[in-house]
Amino acid sequence: MHTIYPPLTIRSKALLPIVQGGMGVGISAHQLASAVAQQNAIGTIASIDLRHLHPDLLAKSKENPIQENYDKLNRIALDREIKAALKSADNRGLIAVNVMKAVTDYPNLVKQACESGAQAIVMGAGLPLELPELTQEHPDVALLPILSESRGISVVLKRWMKKNRLPDAIIIEHPNHAGGHLGAQQITDLNHERFSFRRVLEETQEVFKQLGLESEKIPLILAGGMAHFKKIKTALTEWGANAVQIGTAFAVTQEGDAHINFKKTLSEAKPEDIVEFMSVAGLPARGVLTPFLKKYLQNEAKLQANAKADPRRCVQSLNCLQTCGLRDGISKIGQFCIDQRLTDALNGDVKKGLFFRGKDPLPFGEQIRSVYETMQFLLTGKAIPIE
């Protein structure tokens, strides 16, 4: 695919300046990741609870519903998805795995991803301070932390430099535009000036100078609201970014791994249907106001008032998150089983599912187009006519 922009270079590999964001549960698995990689960009598998895409593993999890068994089966599913994506990509692009720092099994998921052949690890939902140690036996795997402000970037760089490791790129995610879990402490912080892309880029260059780093050696990738040709052009030609990460626009493509109802729900959502709320993980989140979310928000105050630490309140008896409002009885954050609600969304259950989504318009509105068409439009501003 032709583009006017300089390539994103990761480990000497020249790539299109597009990163497909990781989206769980099961929204971005091997089909979507490999389709993006086939266009010589970075395709990303979200490592969270991939067993739901494998009927045999799902059956085994029901036979023995304990956390240890769930974790083992999810790692088996991750292994399958990585190998399938690598095979389909056929040495084009890059296959990355997104691992949330907020999940309890994140160290094992990182190690499994590396052992299965993932070419990059992307980590957000917390400061990935120990990522170099977790991947030290796999020095060829690229590391891409997700951060939202220069202060966090500085902390990560200083810690990693003590371990003689630097990020292969840094993803800068704006919490006021991205979907899913957001990199701010409170909903009221989402539009704070410290998250402005231009400000974070400028401050990050200052951090590089203070630490004696050559800025051109660490590409900066902007995420959140970037699924628009003019925004991409501005970011890459005026602001000094090296690439952009895009999630929702890829989730609704033909190759997206989720149910067609999931894609329709995201693509048909109107601006007033996209809302922010406090997730069970203790982070603000953004999604579509489906019947589940509408009802939950109406009852949120009552549910929070009755919050209590009791693992039996967890719908699937899972210890999936390090912090869980429902399981741990934390009254200020979400009181629902996020794994169950995201699984319902994956399967297209519009009534029960939690559908994460970015707040900005999609490239083709309600149309479900291919990964190739989406990337072509994003990079050139020209849509391929529908025959």
The verdict on residue 322 lying in a domain is yes
Q: Which residue has the tokens 């971005």?
A: 28
Q: Answer yes or no: do 330 and 226 share one domain.
A: no
24-37 tens-digit pLDDT: 889 999 999 999 99
Q: What is the pLDDT of residues 131-182, one digit of tens each?
A: 999 999 999 999 999 999 999 999 999 999 999 999 999 999 999 999 988 9
CATH number of the domain within which 100 lies:
3.20.20.70
pLDDT exceeds 90 at position 217:
no
3-class secondary structure, 4: coil
Q: Domain check: are 177 and 86 in the same one?
A: yes
Residue pLDDT, tens place only, 61-101: 888 777 788 889 999 999 999 999 999 999 999 999 999 88
| 237 pLDDT above the threshold of 70 | yes
Is 353 inside any structural domain? no
Say if residue 124 is in the same domain as residue 15: yes
Beta bridge partner(s), residue 220: 170
- Residue 373 reports pLDDT greater than 80: yes
- Work out how many domains the chain is built from and give that number: 2
Structural domain contains residue 80? yes
CA distance 312 to 277: 24
The reply to whether 385 falls in a domain is no
Q: What SS3 state is found at 91? A: coil
> Is 351 a member of any domain?
no
Instruction: Specify if 386 maps to a domain.
Output: no
- Helix residue spans in the chain (DSSP H): 30-37, 55-63, 67-89, 106-115, 131-134, 150-161, 197-210, 229-237, 248-251, 260-268, 291-305, 325-328, 338-346, 371-380
Any domain includes 256: yes
pLDDT at residue 327 in the model? 84
Distance CA(197)–CA(191), nearest Å, equals 11
| Same domain assignment for residues 230 and 150 | yes
* Whether residue 133 sits in one domain with residue 210: yes
Q: Which residue has the tokens 């590999």?
A: 13
Judgement on whether residues 233 and 325 belong to the same structural domain of the protein: no
Residue whose entry in the numeric block shows the structure tokens 């989402």 = 190
pLDDT number for residue 238: 95
On the question of pLDDT at 370 being above 80, the answer is: yes
pLDDT tens for residues 308-354? 887 766 655 466 887 888 888 888 988 988 888 999 999 999 999 99
240-298 pLDDT, tens per residue?
999 999 999 999 999 999 999 999 999 999 999 999 999 988 889 999 999 999 999 99
- Residue 387 counted as domain residue: no
Determine the pLDDT at residue 264: 97
> 57 is in which domain, residue-wise?
8-265+358-380
Specify the pLDDT at position 318: 63
| 182 & 291 share domain | no
Dihedrals phi, psi of 170, to nearest 5 degrees: -125, 130
H helix runs in 162-290, sequence order:
197-210, 229-237, 248-251, 260-268
What does the block give as tokens for 193?
A: 């000036």
Residues 280 and 260 in one domain: no
DSSP annotation of 228 reads S
25: preceding bond cis by omega (within 30 degrees): yes
pLDDT for 290 equals 95
Are both 209 and 235 inside the same structural domain? yes
Neighbour-count burial of 90, counting CB atoms closer than 10 A to its CB (0-12 exposed, 13-18 middle, 19+ buried): exposed
Residues 316 and 371 in one domain: no
Q: What is the mean pLDDT of the chain?
A: 92
The secondary structure of 126-183 as a DSSP string is S--TTHHHHTTT-TTSEEEEEESSHHHHHHHHHHHHTTT---S-EEEE-TTT--EE-S
Answer yes or no: are the C-beta atoms of 355 and 290 closer than 8 Å.
yes
The model's pTM is 0.94
Say whether both 293 and 321 belong to one domain. Answer: yes
Structure tokens at 330: 């934390």
Amino acid 170: pLDDT: 97
CA neighbor of 163 nearest in space, from 129, 186, 192: 129
**30 and 92 share one domain:** yes
Crossing angle of the two packed helices 55-63 and 67-89, in degrees rounded to 10: 170
Backbone φ, ψ for residue 70 (5° rounding)? -60, -50
